[in-house]
Amino acid sequence: MICNERLEKPRYEHINNRERLMTQPSINHSRISCNFMRIIANYLRGKKCKVFGEVDVYFDENTHYIPDVIIVCDKDKIKPDGIYGAPDLVIEILSPSTAKVDRTEKKETYEKFGVREYWLANPKDKSVEVYHLVDNAFLLDEIYHAYEPVEWKMLTEKEKAEQKLSLKVSLYDDFEIPVEEIFEDMI
């Protein structure tokens, strides 16, 4: 999907053998997705891993999702009609209609099939929750926030020093994403 392109035909995910209609993303959802895609694609240029946005991911015959953004490092999983097997990193952008599924059923599926890293981006509070797969279970690594200038001024110097303002992408030692860039240009 091209950034900011609207879906022309209905698309469906298959979650636990149930079909679920994908809704049209909001403008902020699209902005965040495009920001992730741009940042990640620029970093991955010329590298083994590849980034995809809103492509079909087939885990098994009953489970097929369309995550917002994924990174795949195993080229054998990439087929002309989608990704077959677990991506290395999955990013879901929360919305009121998807948050519960993203935090429960999808998270459990990604965990079960071995997604190494799972991120939940929340446009409402400009945060990203980062989960790492450890011993076949997702553990919350960190919650990163982008701060409005007014919010930042309200923090003490000690609180400011404790803030992590860049996300560390565990797939590469030198890949960090400034949180404020993820939420750029939101309305």
For position 145, which CATH number holds?
3.90.1570.10
pLDDT of residue 151 exceeding 70: yes
Q: How many domains are contained in the chain?
A: 1
Task: Establish if 150 belongs to a structural domain.
Answer: yes
Q: Is the dihedral of CA 144, 148, 154, 160 positive or negative?
A: positive
Range of the domain at 97: 30-182
Q: How confident is the model at residue 2 (pLDDT cuts 50, 70, 90)?
A: very low
Looking at every residue in the chain, the average pLDDT score rounds to: 91
Which residue's entry shows tokens 């919010």?
Answer: 151
Task: Establish if 131 belongs to a structural domain.
Answer: yes
Q: Which amino acid is at 131?
A: Y
| pLDDT value of residue 8 | 58
For 108-139, the pLDDT digits (tens) are 999 999 999 999 999 999 999 999 999 999 99
Mean pLDDT of the 143-150 span: 93
Q: What is the pTM (predicted TM-score) of this model?
A: 0.91
What number of CA atoms fall less than 13 Å from residue 110's CA on the CB side? Answer: 30
| Alpha-helix runs per DSSP H in 7-162 | 27-44, 99-103, 105-113, 149-154, 157-162
pLDDT of residue 184 exceeding 90: yes
Task: Establish if 13 belongs to a structural domain.
Answer: no
Question: C-alpha distances in angstroms, 30 versus 75, 78, 92, 150?
Answer: 26, 24, 12, 25
| pLDDT value of residue 25 | 78
Task: Establish if 98 belongs to a structural domain.
Answer: yes
Task: Establish if 23 belongs to a structural domain.
Answer: no
Name the token pair of 49.
């891993």
Task: Establish if 20 belongs to a structural domain.
Answer: no
| pLDDT value of residue 5 | 52
pLDDT of residue 7 exceeding 90: no
Closest Cα partner for 119 from 82, 94, 148?
Answer: 94
Task: Establish if 187 belongs to a structural domain.
Answer: no
| pLDDT value of residue 97 | 87
